Structure 1
């Protein structure tokens, strides 16, 4: 069995052919797609966070709204850029959203990705400490956030508070018990995956990875997942690890699918991003029988317990629900995922 969810980047564009022509469109449709995915039996609704772009950016209002409209589906991010986050306000927002959702948040974090603007985190009031890189700053914010999620008191009460306080040091409220154990880290390298395991975070691996061997993408990603699991076991965590991979997968079942995605299956690509050599994973698009055979060869999907389907959200809720249903109905059972 494998958990299968969707991952939306939340693109919007005022182009006449787009079904998401405004930020309001994409936010409301994100909620509707999560509801539809739950009704179809999908396991997760995940959303990408990009600042200074016509995409989803502020995750917690959306996560809370999805949590209020659904009952069972996991609700997550893939990923929140921790260079931009105040871990204290984030802990409050995450706690509130998780309580609204009944403890279903699965928060994916990371040290960030290529940006729309130069050093965008500076506009949010953050800068690396002396001797730090921006990546170090993201990890520092993350470690503070993880500590706050434990729910332990740390702040000295005022001697004359407006409201009566419980005894001892105070923690941030609202606190959601168990959220600390549902934090993921988006890792591009094997070393970062090992660090995430040591910190007790689950692992998210996307369609881009640092090229560390020249091997095909899915082989390198499977090695990353195995390195993570070994580090998790070595760290002595008592709960089982979780790993997710994301893929663009389209089962061609009708003429509209063929018009959108026919002939769009591709191969891995190697290139440079942020001054390091990277490998970009392929997309899959084929009739179900051929798609099943191609996916059987993907070592990383086999290694992961969770698969996130990246969806073309600008095509609208109805079509994206069809994309998800096609995988659940025509592909997943044959591969033993359902």
Structure 2
């Protein structure tokens, strides 16, 4: 069995051809798609987070709204860029969204992706400490966040507070029990996947990773997952770590699908990004029977317990719900995912 959700970048564009012409369109339609996905039997509704772009950014109001409108589906991010975050304020936001959803938040965090602007985190008031890189700063913010959502008191109470305090040091509120076990780290390399395992975070691996040996993308990603699981076992955590991978997968079941995606299937691509060599995973688009055989060969999907389908959100709620339903109905049973 495999959990299957969707991942939306939340693009909008004022073009008449776009189904999302404003930020308001994207926000409302993302909520609607999450409701539709839950009704179809999908397991997760995830959103990307990009700053300074016509895409989804601050995720917590949206996640809280999805949580209030749904009952079962997991809701999460893939990923929040921790270079931009105040980890204590973020802990309060995350606690609130998790409580509203009844404990369904699956929060993906990371160093983030290449930016729209130069050193955008500086505009948010953050800078690496002396001797730190921006990646070090992101991990430092993440470690503080993980610590405070444990729910332990750390702040000295005021002897003359406005309201009576409980005894002892104070923690951040609202606190949501169990949230710490539902934090994921978006890892681009094997080393950061192993670090995530050591820190007790679940693993998110996207359609891009550091090229570490020139092998096909799905093989390198599967190796990353196995390295993560070995590190998790070595750390002797008391629960099992979860692993998600994201893919662009389109089952061609009608003429509209063939017009949109009939030529989408491609090959892995190798190139430079953020000053390192990366490998970008292929898209899948084919008739369901052929798609099943292709996906059966994807080692990383086979290794993961959760699959996130990237959706073309600008094509609207109804069509994206159709894409999700096509995978759940025509593809997942053939792979024993359902």
Partner of 1:251: 251
Unaligned runs of 5+ in 2: none
SS in structure 2 at match of 1:83: helix
Taking the aligned partners of 1:192 and 1:172, their CA distance within structure 2 comes to: 28
Unaligned runs of 5+ in 1: none
The answer to whether structure 1 residue 200 and structure 2 residue 200 are counterparts is: yes
Report matched runs for 1:214-225 at 5 Å: 214-225=214-225
**CA-to-aligned-CA distance 1:101-135 (integer Å, 9 cap, x gap):** 00000000001110000000000000001111100
Partner of 1:186: 186
SS in structure 2 at match of 1:332: helix
Q: What is the TM-score with the length of structure 1 in the denominator?
A: 1.00
Taking the aligned partners of 2:284 and 2:195, their CA distance within structure 1 comes to: 30
Partner of 1:157: 157
SS in structure 1 at match of 2:84: coil
Partner of 1:60: 60
Q: How far is the alpha carbon of 1:301 from its aligned partner?
A: 0.3
Partner of 1:26: 26
Partner of 1:269: 269
Partner of 1:82: 82
Q: What is the TM-score with the length of structure 2 in the denominator?
A: 1.00
Taking the aligned partners of 1:50 and 1:264, their CA distance within structure 2 comes to: 24
Partner of 2:44: 44
Partner of 1:97: 97
SS in structure 1 at match of 2:277: strand
Q: How far is the alpha carbon of 1:43 from its aligned partner?
A: 0.3
The alignment's C-alpha RMSD in Å is 0.4
Partner of 1:135: 135
Taking the aligned partners of 2:191 and 2:127, their CA distance within structure 1 comes to: 24
Q: How far is the alpha carbon of 1:54 from its aligned partner?
A: 0.2
Q: How far is the alpha carbon of 1:231 from its aligned partner?
A: 0.3
Partner of 1:312: 312
Taking the aligned partners of 2:216 and 2:195, their CA distance within structure 1 comes to: 23
Partner of 1:212: 212
Partner of 1:303: 303
**CA-to-aligned-CA distance 1:175-199 (integer Å, 9 cap, x gap):** 0000001000000000000000000
Taking the aligned partners of 2:247 and 2:210, their CA distance within structure 1 comes to: 17
